[in-house]
Structure 1
């Protein structure tokens, strides 16, 4: 599941959750907005995120200028 929260001046925040009870690999997410993508520490690339997620894992990202 992906939820997006657009802010007036700080870009868009994304919450990505594996709602299942099994690990999922190579989940491709097309971003709803363009801009640089950052998780808590590591910068990622524009366009799509490709994630592997363990059960009930939550990942959050910020997309912005």
Structure 2
């Protein structure tokens, strides 16, 4: 019975891990192949919105 739970846990970890990695890998492939000229559209807009903002957090701001 213990062996069943060990096998079940190993298979569950593999399935969850493969699923997570497939999502990241396929997202990267999709952005690079099908992204076209708008690859950095969202990050560029985010950077544009955040220009001039004060830095928050980190070791210097905790004083």
TM-score, normalised to structure 2, is: 0.18
Larger helix share, 1 or 2: 2
Max radius of gyration: which structure? 2
Larger strand share, 1 or 2: 1
